[in-house]
Amino acid sequence: MAKSSVDQYSIRVSKALPYLPFADEEKKVWLEDLEREGLSEYLAGQIMEKIPTLERPEDEREDRRMQQTILKVTQAIRQWRLNQGLKNTRSGRR
């Protein structure tokens, strides 16, 4: 059985989160939520709110790697939000 598009966004976020320097307890809770319930607006909001507060590494290579990972997470969340909006629009037309 094929996974829904919401599941693929949750998987993309859950694969990238371990590589970002969030607090371990915070990451653990988020990853458990993603595994149990998938991405939600509440969880997406929490992650997006915390991203600007991340401390940047001094090493240029590590900083670039972190920025690429942040981009992956934010793109997955934005695509998920767009997908949710499209689903809501379609269901409202019927």
Q: Distance of CA 76 to CAs 43, 44, 57, 91, 94, Å?
A: 13, 10, 23, 22, 28
User: Mean of the pLDDT values across residues 17-21?
Assistant: 96
- Pick the residue with more confidence: 86 or 30? 30
Taking 90 as the threshold, does the pLDDT of residue 3 lie above it?
Answer: no
- Condensed to tens digits (0 to 9), the pLDDT of residues 61-90 reads 999 999 999 999 999 999 999 998 887 777
Q: What percent of the chain has pLDDT over 90?
A: 80
Tell me the C-alpha to C-alpha distance, in Å, between residue 67 and each of 34, 71, 73, 85, 91. 22, 6, 10, 27, 36
